[in-house]
Structure 1
Amino acid sequence: MEESRGRGRPRKDPEKLARWTPPEGWSRLVAWVSPEEKKALKRIAVEAEVSVADLVRSLAGGLAGGVITHAELIGQVRRGKQVMEKIPTLFERDDSFKVVNRPRTECAWVFDGEGVGTEKLDGTNVRLTVRSGQLVRLEKRRNPSKVHKQQGIVDGWYADADEFGAEDKWIWAAARSTDVSAWPDGEHSCEALGPSIQGNPLGLDEHVCVPFDLAAPDYVAAPRSYAELQDFLARLESRYAPGHLAEGIVFHHPDGRRAKIKRKDFPVR
């Protein structure tokens, strides 16, 4: 009769584990992780040819021994938190990273009928400052560099776009061709779209900036169930480019919460 496999037994040298006991004073650490996080840890552990437990312990050992500084670790933790705080997808994913008919707990409000759906736009994030109906400033989203991260700077920010620089040429073209005459004074986060931006998935003929707070196209009657959303997104045309499919939908709750679903999130039928 085959022996039952002990919990936590490694693939290599199981007899060694059976005889191993932790040193005096050691404690056991337990943490809950998502399937994606677990897969990422396993991938690194396999490449390093160690167990996930040894991978985590090496991190703790590096911190205790001064190989990894507190600033470096805190920076990575904060960056990881930022990733977790990105707009969640409505449904859980399977091993192939496609969504399955299992709603995510934090998105329950969507399935309760709360919030409004808007078209998800795929472009470049910018910010326009308007005064008296005139564009007075254009900024682009910047992410911290490696040096910034070492300094503990982990949050992104907006920086002035270079009006005469080649790198910012097309977002300036989008900003200049956007009619802001009726916009209220203030700063407006937008998505810059057009022929020379992010591959132009909507096939637009001109560049334009779409303000999230003023003109995000909404879908009040958007369905909320898995099957209905799959069918809905399979044929949903972009309101900015008729004849092109919309990338997806972002649901907005009045209290600021958001949740998203993209057409390509669903498995191919």
Structure 2
Amino acid sequence: MEEEVKRRGRPRKDPERLARWTPPDGWSRLVAWVSPEEKKALKRVAVDAGVSVADLVRSLASGLAAGAITHEELVGQVRRGRQVMEKIPTLFERDGDFRVVDRPRAECAWVFAGEGAPTEKLDGTNVRLTVRGGHLVRVEKRRNPSKAQKQQGIVDGWYVDTDEHGPEDRWILAAARNTDVATWPDGEHACEALGPRIQGNPLGLDGYLCVPFDLEVPVYEAVPRSYEGLREFLAELESRYAPGSLAEGIVFHHSDGRRAKIKRKDFPTAV
């Protein structure tokens, strides 16, 4: 009998193979909705591994069940991805002019309870750098949902690859290449790309760089947590990355992954 040639791909592409395969007793089917970009990313990994996407997902589940990857490691990766992709809520409610008023948002109550570490909010472009062995191997940028996608219920952004030859990605790539990643641990690092031609360069920087959220964002001490206190504090807060320039705002980071923000320009101007 000829040895059956193992083909790459999903069983449904081979009806005869699908008809011969029966899941073991007790197995159940898992279905998840993913974006086109997420689907493409899964397929890329599956192709590199020489397996189907289904086998890729099953391998992850098997590794978790067998202890090859711990619960804490997996949850940590999920939280890191969720932190950079979800929109960060503003501390206070807004009025008709879109300025904040002295009315804390319920989901940010933990900040007013004294929880979370305050860090500088940087006004640049959200990117993700992949590092291997101290070398930059991939640069991605954030893609936000379109108006039509928002109407479909898609509210969180995702990452897509930058275009090496695309003029729209020129300055993002300049920031990435000008960032020293030699001591960064292997993995994907969400960053803020900053520089003269990025988002109007509010800090007045002379060069380009990427600041990794998980490695280099300093914590401010003695930050007030009241409406008036934050208003006065931000009016004079100097940026750690551009001394002499005012910081854009503050982001509070909770140990469980939650975040909340407040910007200097969120407050109404003095009259």
How many angstroms apart in 2 are the aligned matches of 1:187 and 1:241? 26
SS in 1 for 2:139: strand
Partner of residue 120, structure 1 = 121
Q: In the alignment, which residue of structure 2 is the partner of 1:212?
A: 213
Tell me: CA distance 1:122–1:131, structure 2 relative to 1, closer, same or farther (3 Å). Answer: same
Deviation, 1:155, is 4.7
Structure 1 residue runs of 5 or longer lacking an equivalent are 1-84
Deviation, structure 1 residue 91:
1.5
Specify the SS of the correspondent of 2:229.
helix
Change (3 A) 1:149 1:93: closer
1:112-162 Cα shifts (integer Å, max 9, x gaps): 110001111111111000011110111111234578779987653212112
2 CA distance for matches of 1:114 and 1:127?
27
Counterparts of 1:121 and 1:135 in 2: how far apart (Å)?
Answer: 22
What is the CA deviation profile of residues 17-59 of structure 1, one whole-angstrom value per residue up to 9, with x for unaligned ones? xxxxxxxxxxxxxxxxxxxxxxxxxxxxxxxxxxxxxxxxxxx
Q: 1:181 to 1:260 in 2, by over 3 A?
A: same
RMSD after superposition: 2.1
User: Is 1:169 aligned with 2:197?
Assistant: no
Report matched runs for 1:29-68 at 5 Å: none
Quick one: structure 1 residues 110 and 203, their matched pair in 2 at CA, closer, same or farther if it must change by over 3 Å?
Answer: same
TM-score by length of 2: 0.64
Matched, 1:261 2:245: no
Q: Which has the larger radius of gyration?
A: 1
In the TM superposition, 1:29-178 aligns within 5 A as 86-144=87-145, 155-178=156-179
TM-score by length of 1: 0.64
Mapping for residues 184-195 of structure 1, pairs under 5 Å = 184-195=185-196
Letter in 2 for 1:167: E
Identity across matched positions, percent: 78
Aligned residues between the structures: 185
CA contact (8 A) 2:87 2:156 kept: no
Quote the Cα distance in structure 2 between the aligned partners of 1:150 and 1:114. 34
Unaligned stretches of 5+ residues in structure 2: 1-85
SS at match of 1:206: coil
CA distance in 2, matches of 1:200, 1:128: 21
